[in-house]
Chain A
C-alpha cells in the first residue's frame, strides 16, 4: 500500500534517540564518613527522591530463617526510636513523604521521597529505621501474621503457584528456588533477635549503593548521608550467595485447578548481567519475546491466532545466575497450541536468528525508549542504583546507546544459538489444560 511507504518514510534516517548527555548529569558524592552516592541535582521541582540498596537480599537468608530480610523490611516503618508504629507512620504522612523498604533475591532496598523542605526530618526517620528499629511485639505479631496469610493466599493463586514451582524445578536447593517471603514455617520461627543480627551483619557501608535525585545540593546531601548512615559498620559480615545455574529440564508440569484460563510460566537458562553477550542478548530477546506487542511471540500467539492477551518472556539476570522467564495465559482448550507456537518461534530464532530489519528496529527501540523511563526523580534514582549495583560505570548513560548499536547481525545469530534452546524450555501450567502432550501432573508442596 502506498500509504505505508509514506509513513515508513518518517523512519528514515534512523537516528539514536538517547538523551543528550546534559539531560542527566551524574555527580559522585563522597562523604567524610566514607559513604559514596550518585546525585542528579535538579531544582526544577521541590522534591528529593533517594534509593538506597544493600547488596545481598533474600538469597542470603538461612534456610531455616527464609524470609527474614523481607520480614525485617516490612517492620522498618513500624516504629523506631521514640516513635511507635502509629507515631512513626503518622510523622511520615504529616511530612508528605514516603519511605518504603523491600527485598529481592539479591538486594535490600529503601525508597525515600520527600518535599525538599522536609528532607532533613525524613532523612532522620530513615536513620531511626536503620539504627533504632523498635520491633515492638504488636507490630511484629501483626506483620508476621500478614506475611503468613499472604503465603497461604499465594498457594491458591495460579500465577503464584506456577512461578513458585518453576523456580523450584530449576534451582532445587539453591536459595533462588525459594520465595523471597520464605515459608509459613520459616516465618513463624524468626525472632527479633534474628532480625537485629541480620541487620548488623548485612548493612555495612561497603555493601551500600545510593542514588539521589532532585532539589538538594551535594553539600547538604553529604551531611544528610553521614547523619543517616554514618554509624553503620564499615564492612558487612554476611556471607555470599553461591553461584548457580538454572538446570532447565525442558519439562511440562501441570497443576490442576478449575479455572477458565490456564496460566503458564516458562523459561530456560539465560545469562548474567556481566556476560560479554549481554547487549546482544537484550536485542535478541527484544525481537523474540520481550518487546511488547511487536515481538515475534506476541505476533504469533496473540495477534495472528488470538491465543492469549498477555504473552512475553525476558532476561532475568540475577547476581548468581541468569534465566529467561516468561508467562502466557490461554484458555484450557488452546493452551497446548500456545505452547507449541512458543516452542516453534523459539526454534526459528535459534536456527536463523533475527533479520537485519528486526535487528535495526530493535536497536532503535532499545536506545530510543530508554530515556522515557527517566520520567520522574524516583525513576532516575532507581536507575542510578541499578547502574551502580551492576558496576556499569558513571558514564553508562552516555555509553549505553553505543553498546547496543554495535551489535551485529552475526553477533545476534550467534547469541540466538547460544541462548535459545526449545528443548530446554520448561513450562509450568496451572489450570485445566486439554490435550497437553507429555505433561507431568504434579501437586505443589509448600
Chain B
C-alpha cells in the first residue's frame, strides 16, 4: 500500500485509507498522449484536453523514500517540503504565493518510489508555472533559517498522520515485518527519532543526487498543444544540464521463510481491524506475468457487492462490517497483495479467520468461476472511460507510470491486458502468492495499552 505524504492537507486526490476494493489501476487507453525527450534527458508527455481553458503541470522525480541513505529516513519527503522554500531567484514561500496570485493551485507529494510537484492553472498561465517549476529543478537555495521551522512542520505532520492514529502506528509496524530488508519497510515520512536529526545538508545532498532533468518526467495535461509544450519545455527546462544520477538500485528482499502475527491493543480502538498481507509481483519486479491477473483476482474476491469477501463475510455470515482485497502493481520493486476487514463486535478472530481461510482456500482450489472473472474484467475495462472525465486525473496516471519506468504503451494497453486475463491466469496468480506460511497477519484490537 502506497502512502502518499502531501505538502498540504485537503486534497481529495489520494486516500490514505486502505483501498478495500481492488486497487485503482492505470486507466488510459482512451486519452491521447504524446511524448518526446529533450536533449538533456527530460521526458515530456502532453495530454491535450480542450474541454476547459485549464492546464495541469506535473513534474515527477524518479526517486522517493526508498532511495534514502541509511539513518536519514524522511529526507525525500522533507526535501519535497523544502522545494517550496526558495531558489536563487524566488524567495522562501514565494513559490506558492506566485501561483496563487495567478489564480492557480499547487501541491506536491512523496512516496517510496517517486516525488511529484504540480500546479493547476488557467491555460494562459502555463508559461509562468513552467518557468517556476523548471527554476527549482536546478536552483534550490535553502538555509537553516527556513529548514529549522520546516522540520517542525514535518514532525507535526507525522504526529497528525501517524502518532495520533493507532491504525497508522500499527501499519508502520506491519510494514517492517512484511519487508525484511527492502527499504519499503521504512515509513515514507520517516522514523521520528531520525527526522529530528535531518539537516539542511542532508536535504541538499538528496537533491543534488537525484534531482536532474534526466531523472524526471514532465507532464502537461489540458488545453494545450504538443507544439506549445515543446516550445515552452525547450525554453525553460532545456537549458538545465544533464547530470549523472545513480542507478535506482535498492537492496533485494531475501526469501521469506516464516509467517508472522502482530497484535496491538489500544483503548481508542473500538472494533478489531484485521489484515493479512503477502508479497506480490509489481509491474516491474517478481513474477510480473501475474501483475494483471492479480488485479482481476482482487476485483473478483473483494471488489463488488457479490464478491466472496464482501458477500460471504459481511452480508451472509455477518462476521465483519467491511472486508476486501487490495493489490497495486504500481511499485518500482515488490508489491503487496492484501486482505483486510473490520470485525463485527463480538466476533472472535478465530471464527473470522476460519471463514476467511475457507474463502481463500476455495479460490485457490478452483472456486473462482469464469463468469466472476468476466464480470470483474468488464467492470474494470468500462470504468477506464471515466479517466478521460478530468484534466488532472490522466496527468497523475501517466506521470506515475513513467516515473516507475513504464511506457505510454504500457498504459494504453492496460484494458487489452486486463481483457486478456483468463480464469486459469487468475487461479495461477492466486496460487503463486497466497502462501499463508509467509503471510503477515495484523490484528489491531481494543484494550489497554501495554
A residues lining the B interface (CB < 8 Å): 1, 3-4, 6-8, 10-11, 17, 19-20, 23-24, 42, 44-47, 49, 85-86, 89-90, 93-94, 96, 113, 115, 138, 142, 145-146, 149, 152-153, 155-158, 257, 259-261, 263, 291-294, 299, 302-310, 312, 329-331, 361, 364-365, 367-369, 371-372, 374-378
Chain B residues with CB under 8 Å of A45's CB are: 385, 388-389
A1–B91 touching, CB < 8 Å: yes
> Is B103 an interface position by the 8 A CB rule?
yes
For residue B388, which residue of chain A has the nearest CB?
A45
Least Cβ–Cβ distance between A24 and chain B, in angstroms:
8
Beyond A149-B321, A292-B96, A365-B100, is A372–B89 a contact (Cβ under 8 Å)? no
Cα–Cα, bound, A293→B7 (Å): 10
Q: How far is the CA of A279 from the CA of B111 in the complex (A)?
A: 39
A315 to chain B, nearest CB (A): 15
Most chain-B CB neighbours within 10 Å: which of A93, A260, A292?
A93
A87→B128 CA distance, assembly (Å): 52
A446 shortest CB reach to chain B, Å: 14
The answer to whether B102 has its CB under 8 Å from any CB of chain A is: yes
CB proximity of A306 to chain B, nearest CB, Å: 3
Give the residue of B52, B93, B148, B388 whose beta carbon is less than 8 angstroms from that of A306: B148
* Residue B230, interface by CB 8 Å: no
Q: How far is the CB of B143 from chain A (nearest CB, A)?
A: 14
B152 to chain A, nearest CB (A): 3
B379 interface residue, CB < 8 Å from A?
A: yes
A156-B268 in contact (CB<8A): yes
Contact pattern, B 86-111, Cβ under 8 Å of A = 1, otherwise 0: 00111111101110111111000000
Cross-chain contact B315 with A17 (CB below 8 angstroms): no
**New A-B pairs, 9, CB < 8 Å, besides A260-B163, A329-B164, A371-B53:** A3-B89, A4-B94, A7-B132, A46-B385, A85-B305, A85-B315, A90-B304, A305-B152, A331-B159
B378 sits at the interface (CB 8 A):
yes
Asked if B268 contacts A115 (CB within 8 A), the reply is no
Are the CB atoms of B51 and A329 closer together than 8 Å?
no
B153 x A94 contact (CB < 8 A):
no
Is B156 within 8 A of A331, CB to CB?
yes
Q: Does B269 contact A (CB under 8 A)?
A: yes
Q: Whole-angstrom distance between the alpha carbons of A6 and B98 in the complex?
A: 12
User: CB distance A158 to B164 under 8 Å?
Assistant: yes
Chain B residues with CB under 8 Å of A303's CB are: 92-93, 149
Find A10's partner among B131, B151, B157, B379 (CB 8 Å cutoff).
B131
CB distance from B360 to the nearest CB of A (A): 21
* Residue from B54, B120, B311 having most chain A Cβ neighbours under 10 A: B54
Contact call A17/B122, Cβ cutoff below 8 A: yes
Is B75 part of the binding interface, using a Cβ–Cβ cutoff of 8 Å?
Answer: no
Least CB distance from B159 to A in Å reads 4
CB B49 to nearest CB in A, in angstroms, measures 9
**Is B390's CB within 8 Å of the partner chain A?**
yes
Give the Cβ gap from B259 to chain A, nearest Cβ, in Å: 29
Instruction: Check A149/B270 contact, CB under 8 A, given A261-B160, A329-B160, A368-B102.
Output: yes
- Which A residues are in CB contact (< 8 Å) with B305? 85-86, 89-90, 93
- In angstroms, Cα B383 to Cα A392, docked, is 34
Mark out the residues of chain B between 226 and 267 whose CB falls within 8 Å of any chain A CB in the assembled complex. 267
**B380 (CB) vs chain A CBs: closest residue:** A96
CA distance in complex: A146, B268 (Å): 17
Contacts of B315 in A (CB 8 A): 85-86, 138, 142
A375 touches B392 (CB 8 A): yes
Given contact pairs A303-B93, A372-B105, A19 touches B270 in the complex (Cβ within 8 A): no
- B122 with A368: CB separation less than 8 A: yes
Q: Are B98 and A7 in contact (CB under 8 A)?
A: yes
Q: Which of B377-428 contact A (CB under 8 A)?
A: 378-379, 382-383, 385-386, 388-393
Cβ of A294 and Cβ of B100 under 8 Å apart? yes
Q: How far is the CA of A6 from the CA of B128 in the complex (A)?
A: 11
- CB of A279, distance to nearest CB on chain B (Å): 16
- Does B9 lie at the interface of the complex (its beta carbon under 8 Å from any beta carbon of A)? yes
Chain B residues 96 to 149 lying within 8 A of chain A, measured CB to CB, are: 96-98, 100-105, 120-122, 124-125, 127-128, 131-132, 148-149
Q: Is the CB of B103 within 8 A of A309?
A: no
List the B side residues contacting A375 at CB < 8 Å. Answer: 52, 54, 120, 390-392
Q: With A4-B90, A302-B153 known to touch, is A369 a contact of B104 (CB < 8 Å)?
A: yes
B180 within 8 A of A: no
Q: Are B105 and A6 in contact (CB under 8 A)?
A: no
On whether the beta carbons of B379 and A93 are closer than 8 Å, the reply is yes
Cβ contacts under 8 Å, B379 to chain A: 93-94, 96
Contact A17 B125 (CB under 8 A): yes
Q: How far is the CA of A257 from the CA of B311 in the complex (A)?
A: 38
Give B19 Cβ to nearest chain A Cβ, in Å: 15
Q: Are A309 and B153 touching (Cβ within 8 A)?
A: yes
- A10's closest neighbor in chain B, by CB? B128
**Residue B154 is within 8 A (CB to CB) of chain A in the complex:** yes
Question: Can you show 12 pairs from A to B with CB atoms below 8 A apart?
Answer: A17-B125, A86-B315, A89-B305, A96-B379, A96-B385, A142-B315, A152-B270, A299-B93, A330-B156, A369-B104, A374-B52, A377-B389
Chain B residue with minimal CB distance to A327?
B9
**Which residues on A sit within 8 Å (CB–CB) of B10?**
310, 312
Q: How far in angstroms is the closest Cβ of chain A from B241? A: 19
Is there contact, CB below 8 Å, between B270 and A365?
Answer: no
In the complex with contacts A1-B89, A113-B386, A375-B391, A305-B103 CB distance below 8 A: no
A293 touches B8 (CB 8 A): yes
- Residue B344 interfacial (CB < 8 Å): yes
Top 3 closest pairs, chain A to chain B, by CB = A368-B103, A3-B89, A306-B152
Say whether A47 contacts B153, CB under 8 Å: no
Q: Given the interface contacts A47-B389, A310-B9, does A156 sit within 8 Å of B270 by beta carbon?
A: yes
* B52 and A23 form a contact (CB under 8 A): yes
A145 near B389 with CB under 8 A, answer no
Q: Tell me which residues across on chain A come within 8 A of B121, comparing CB atoms.
A: 368, 372
Tell me, yes or no, whether B345 is within 8 Å of chain A by CB.
Answer: yes
B153 pairs with A261, CB closer than 8 A: no
Residue of B nearest to A292 (CB): B8
| Nearest A residue (CB) for B342 | A149
